[in-house]
Every structure is written in structure tokens, then in C-alpha cells.
A and B are shown apart, each in its own frame.
Chain A
Amino acid sequence: MFRTRRSLPRRGIETRSLSESGQALIELYFAIILFFFVSIALFEIAVVYHNVNTVNNALKQGAWVASMGGTDEDIAAAISDADTQVIHSSFFDHYVTNFAITVWTMTPTGEVQIAPQAITHDGGLSPGRPDRAAYVYRAQGNNIRLGVDYTAGFVSPFFGAEPVFKIDVPLVASQAIIAENDDDRDGLVDLYEPELFIGMADWPDTQWMPIDHMDSGVSDKASANIDGDTYADAVEQGFALYDYDNDGWIDRNDPNDNLLKHPVIGGQKITL
């Protein structure tokens, strides 16, 4: 009886042990697979985090170059430097799309985008692309803003080359332009003003003057009243020289009466 009582439970234990060990193996197998995927997912999240950070930093560097008056090639080169730091993995494609350059200006009512403009003319200006502000608007004091979309797409060999799913992260960096390129304070880069003036019927070549705040044909260096207000320059100080209505906002940022005529929008006053 004693032996029987001892042997019965032992057989029971052995029977349960054999069946449960197989089940445990299967559970362990699934657990390992699950942990493997969780680990891969964690790794990829870290990679995406790193890459977003890297591209964001590169974008800020690009904005810095842009603020100094760099060309689009210079800006793109600064952003491309991120290629050396971006981590590429087997399961995810990492890439950047929709590179755009916009220019904004601060007004009393807030920041306003001034380029690219949704008009036909803007497409003909350097660099002549609808997603990039023309050089003529990248004037000192304006805000240049770069944007890209960073995408991490999960690619599986079972579903072809297209990502099964993807994460889009829009990134933006902006910087005030510090290049000294707007001597007449009209909000347009002096070098590129001829892009606007030459070829326009109502603005013959002879009237174009890069250092001419009002584009009146008299350069600011020879003018006694740069902004055309009721006060001679001799009695105005500082930026009041470029402030027609003397409201404390120089004309290029002032949406009110500022006398500046914008050739692209038909020789009318700038309305921001």
C-alpha cells in the first residue's frame, strides 16, 4: 500500500511532466519568437528616434547655411551630411522627401509666409521651383524655413518592395536670415531684384536700381527722403528712414501704408 501510494503519484508526476514539458517547449518557442520581435521593434524604434534626431539636426544646419545666404546646393549639401549618421536597418527603409524652402516675415499681426508665391511669376525666378522660395525673397531679417518629411517604412520580402506600413515625421527648422543682402530695406535681396524688374513692361531696365528703397529711380545714397514721407532723412533716425508711415515698423514688414511697390504683384503696394 505504501509502495502503491508512492508509485502512483510518481507515475502521475511523470505523465504530467512529459506532456507539460512539450507544452512548455512550445510556449517557450512562441515566447522566444515574441521576445525576438519585441526586441527588433525596440531596436527599430531606437533607430527611428536616432534618425529623426539626426535629420532634424541636419535640417537646422541647413537653415543656418540658408540664413547666411547659401544657395540651394549649399543647403542641400548641409542636409545630406545626415547620410553619414543615419542608421540603415534591414527591416526599415529610411528616407527623406518633400524638401521645401519657404520664407516668412514678421508683421504686427504675426508671421506671414511670403514665398513661394502662388503666382506664375515666382516659378521663373531663381531657383525656379514651386517648392522653394525664390532667392529674391531671402532678404536679411526675414525668416527662412526648411521642411522635409522623414519616412521610416517597414519592408517585408513577402510584400514586395513597397513598405507594408510607414511612419511619416514632418520636420521643420527655421532661422532668421543674417546675410547682409538687403541694403535698401525693401524685403528683396539686392542681387536678385533684377529678376523681378528686367523684362517687365511697366518697369523698364533703366528704372531698376538695387539700392533704392522705393524703386523710384533715385538711389538711397543720393536721396534726401528715402521712404518718401513728410520728413527729410536729416531729421529721421535709424530705421525711421525706411518707415513711410512712421509707425515703428519698417516698410518691408509693415502691412499698412508703406509705399513699397511690389513688381511681381503688378506694381501695387505690398500687402502681406
Chain B
Amino acid sequence: MVEFGLTITVFVFIVLACVNLILIGYNLDTAQRAAWEAARKAAVGASNSQIADVIYDQFATKMFSSFILISKPNFDPTSFVVPNDLLYRVEGFPVQINLGYTTGMSLGPLGNLELTFPVSSKLRVITHNDEDQDGLNDAVEAFPNDHDNDGIVDSSDSDVDNDGIIDSLDKGTIRWNGAAYVINTGSGEVPNPSLANGRFATRILWPLSDGSTFVENWPYLPRAIPRDLSGVENTNLYITVDLSYDADNDGWSDRYVPY
């Protein structure tokens, strides 16, 4: 009888453990979905409170908990969105949600046995919120349409990046010269460490057949410098780039090194 009682007790605990594992799995899955949804909100410009609402609606109110199953979100309000400041959540840059899920078992007077799973989700901001390409969110920036913050809005500024070269002439060519990636801004080709990894991050100026130039839209992300069918860099391939938003003229727009 005692053995039977013990067996029943062990079985009850095993069944409870199984149920708890299933519930923990469900909760963790819910937490990850909430973190992902929150990251999507952040990627389109949501504020911290709106993101927190997502966590509350999608996770805190949907998770299972019981008198023996501890289940709760666990995150630092000051760092659950990185960057925490809306000013730096800019088009093309990553935003990450850090959400902890704490679960465990209540041992009554002995306290709690807890385990926290880190849950995070990272996306890139896609909302167009950096008109002046300075790496700061225009909506919360003091000078939203002034790249170099010199008091002259970009549409009226003949030298947007304040590098001493007027915008109509502020351009250069990038190519592989056989030994290194070089940039030529009019005074000869110079290797630049910013191009050493074969990537650049500024607009391209396409030459058109009527002699005019087509300025492409702002790229979201750095891109790889193209090669050719030989599989390696091509010394004959030039890319003309717009350096009007690139104060140090290295092929990387200033937004990647914010003012």
C-alpha cells in the first residue's frame, strides 16, 4: 500500500512536470512571438510605451501560470529596447527587444526555484525617418532637416556635409585598383580603410544615355562592391558615388558615424 502510494505520488509529480514543461514551452513560444511582434513595431517607429504594450498584450496576458508554476516576464525597463532612446532608432539601423521569461516552481516555505530564459528579437528600422541622413531620428531631432546642424536646412545648403566641397561637385569614384579598394574624389586614387572590407554605404550616381545622372534612393544598408565574372574585383569597374552627405569622403555616409 505504501509502495502504491509512493508510485502514485511519483506519477502525479511526473505528470505535473510534463504539464509544466508543455506550459513552459508554450509560454516561451508566446514570449518569443511577443518579442518578434515588438521588434516589428519598433522597426516601424513605435515608442517604448507602445512596444511595452505589445509585450503586455501578446505575452503577459496570454501566458499560463499556476500556484506551482511560476511564469512572468523579466526585463529591465531601461534596456528592453536597444537603443532605448527613440532618437537613435533610425532607418536602416538595428533595434533589439530584450525580454526575459522567468519560470520555475514554487517550493512553498522553501522559496522558489526559478530559471530565466533570455528572449530577444532584432530587426532593422524601416520607417523613413532620417531625411537629413545624419543617423538621428528626425521626429525627435532638434534640427530634423539639417545634416550638419549648421542652422541652414539641407534644401538651402550648398554644402550639406560642410566639408568645403559644394554638393554638385561632391562625388567620387570607387574601384578595385588591383591591390586595394580606392576612392578618387578628384585628386587621385587613395586607398581608404573604410573600404577595406569591400563594402560602401552611400548613394550611387548612375550615368544615363542622355548625359544626365540618375541619383538612386538612399540605401538602407552598406552594400558589397560588385565584382565581375572572373570572380574577383574588376579593375575596370568604376562606381560613381554621391559624397554630399559624407564629410570625410570615405564612401560611407555620415549616418553610419552620426554627428
Contacts and interface: CB of A to CB of B under 8 A. Distances in A.
Contacts of B234: 194, 198-199
A31 B9 CA distance: 13
A170 interface: no
A209 B6 CA distance: 81
B129 interface: no
Q: Is the interface of A mostly helix, strand, loop or mixed?
A: helix
For B17, B210, B226, the residue with the greatest tally of chain A CB atoms inside 10 Å of its CB is B226
A192 B209 contact: no
B223 A211 contact: no
B41 interface: no
B191 interface: no
Contacts of B3: 24, 28
Interface string A43-70: 1011001100110010011001100111
B216 A179 contact: no
A178 B126 contact: yes
B226 A43 contact: no
Interface string B85-124: 0000000100000000000000000000000011111111
Interface string B1-28: 0010011001000100110010011001
Contacts of A125: 227, 229, 231
A169 interface: no
A263 B215 CA distance: 25
A46 B24 contact: yes
Contacts of B83: none
Interface in B208-243: 208-210, 212, 214, 216-217, 219-224, 226-231, 234, 236-237, 239
Interface string B58-72: 000000000000000
B36 A194 contact: no
Given A57-B36, A69-B223, A198-B237, A183 B214 contact: yes
Contact of B226 (A57, A87, A191): A191
Interface string B121-136: 1111010000000000
Contacts, number: 145
A221 B32 CA distance: 47
Given A71-B222, A211-B208, A222-B209, A42 B17 contact: yes
A68 B226 contact: no
B230 A124 contact: yes
A232 interface: no
Interface string A29-48: 00100010011001101100
A267 interface: no
Given A190-B206, A217-B209, A50 B25 contact: yes
A194 B176 CA distance: 14
Interface string A102-128: 000000000000000000010111111
Contact of A71 (B25, B217, B224): B224
Nearest to B231: A124
B124 A64 contact: yes
B226 A85 contact: no
B20 to A, nearest CB: 10
A69 B220 contact: yes
A150 interface: no
Contacts of B219: 69, 179
Contacts of A209: 208-209
Given A195-B228, A217-B209, A61 B204 contact: no
B57 interface: no
B29 interface: yes
A61 B209 CA distance: 39
B221 A70 contact: yes
A74 interface: yes
A78 interface: yes
B227 A179 contact: no
Interface string A75-88: 00010010011010
Nearest to B18: A42
Given A50-B28, A69-B223, A85-B120, A43 B228 contact: no
- Which 6 pairs of residues, A with B, have the shortest CB-CB distance? A222-B210, A124-B231, A219-B208, A219-B209, A68-B220, A124-B229
11 contacts: A43-B21, A57-B32, A57-B36, A57-B121, A61-B122, A85-B120, A124-B228, A125-B229, A183-B216, A190-B206, A218-B209
Given A31-B10, A71-B222, A217-B209, 15 more contacts: A46-B21, A50-B25, A54-B32, A61-B122, A64-B124, A71-B223, A124-B229, A126-B227, A136-B226, A179-B221, A180-B216, A190-B204, A195-B226, A212-B209, A219-B209
